Amino acid sequence: MSLSKVVYQVQAASWITPTGQAAVQDVSFEIRQGEVFGIIGPNGAGKTSLLKLLYRTYRAESGEIFLNGQDVKDIPRTEFAQQVAVVLQESPANFALTVRDVVATGRLPYLRSLERFGADHTKVVDECLKRFELVDMQDRRFSVLSGGEKQRVVFARALAQQSPVLILDEPTNHLDIRHQLDVMRNLKDWADTVILTVHDINLAARYCDRLLVLHNGRAVACGAPADILTSDLLERVFRVSSELRQEPRYGQPWFAFYADEAALPDENQNG
């Protein structure tokens, strides 16, 4: 894989919750153009909080975050939306919009004040509806869809945004097996650079170029899956026993997991 410029640069970033918990602690890493960059870790490790720092819902208490060499807090909102699209874990349940209307909102960063929705925008929306098998339901209300259908709609909206960077928080949630594999397999077709959190270690190992492993808000490993994923690391971070194998078709590391009693977390342990 040929990598070029640094897209995101995170330098000693920290964020503290309103209750005083250090959700992200002194985390540093770089993401380069062309990567699928995965963030993994147990529940409460700080994965979603870190993503929110990247797409500016949260502002770092300390440290700095740069997008294409510019401090993220200095980038105007519309310009940022043209550079970064985001797919969240949970979608609003009370949209009074149709599926097509929701997907079309992805074009808003490119509409000037009072500009009409022209043929170019309509073409992009049509292509995104088709890509996610949403054409037949484009006139249905978003609020009546199943969780998996909603997830596909917000994917289509993000792609309609045509931003070079795509951030996804647990993108395979709510999806059946076929659509999970479709999402992971097609990530590199969706944007120049993809950043995502993943719960499934084996999916992450197979489809991500590099992984950042978080534990208690800190980065404990970063690198190619084959270089950093070991049974010892997973037991230390996830408190679960595993056996490292090789995926027979693609050759990536693959883990079989065992809920050994000895590997279960101590009841008195936080996080």
Structure tokens at 90: 């949970």
The region that residue 20 occupies, defined by phi over 0 for left and psi between -120 and 50 for alpha, beta otherwise, is: left
What pLDDT, on a 0 to 100 scale, did the predictor assign at position 95?
67
What pLDDT, on a 0 to 100 scale, did the predictor assign at position 179?
87
Query: Per residue in 4-37, is it b (16+ CB within 10 Å) or e — as a string?
Result: eeebbbbeebbbbeeeeebbbbebebebbbbbbb
Please give the Cα distance from 234 to 205 (Å, whole number): 13
Please give the Cα distance from 177 to 209 (Å, whole number): 21
What pLDDT, on a 0 to 100 scale, did the predictor assign at position 175?
83
Please give the Cα distance from 88 to 48 (Å, whole number): 9
What pLDDT, on a 0 to 100 scale, did the predictor assign at position 156?
94
pTM value?
A: 0.89
Q: Which helix (H) or strand (E) holds 50?
A: helix 47-54
Nearest to 121 by CA among 130, 133, 111, 131: 111
- Residue showing tokens 């009370």: 94
As averages over each run of 10 residues, the pLDDT of the chain (271 residues) reads: 80 95 96 97 96 96 97 96 90 78 92 74 95 95 90 93 96 86 90 95 94 97 95 93 84 82 47 37
Q: Under DSSP, is residue 28 helix (H, G, I), strand (E, B) or coil?
A: strand
**DSSP character for 115?**
-
What pLDDT, on a 0 to 100 scale, did the predictor assign at position 173?
82
What pLDDT, on a 0 to 100 scale, did the predictor assign at position 71?
97
Please give the Cα distance from 218 to 68 (Å, whole number): 24
What pLDDT, on a 0 to 100 scale, did the predictor assign at position 249?
81
Nearest to 255 by CA among 239, 265, 269, 241: 241
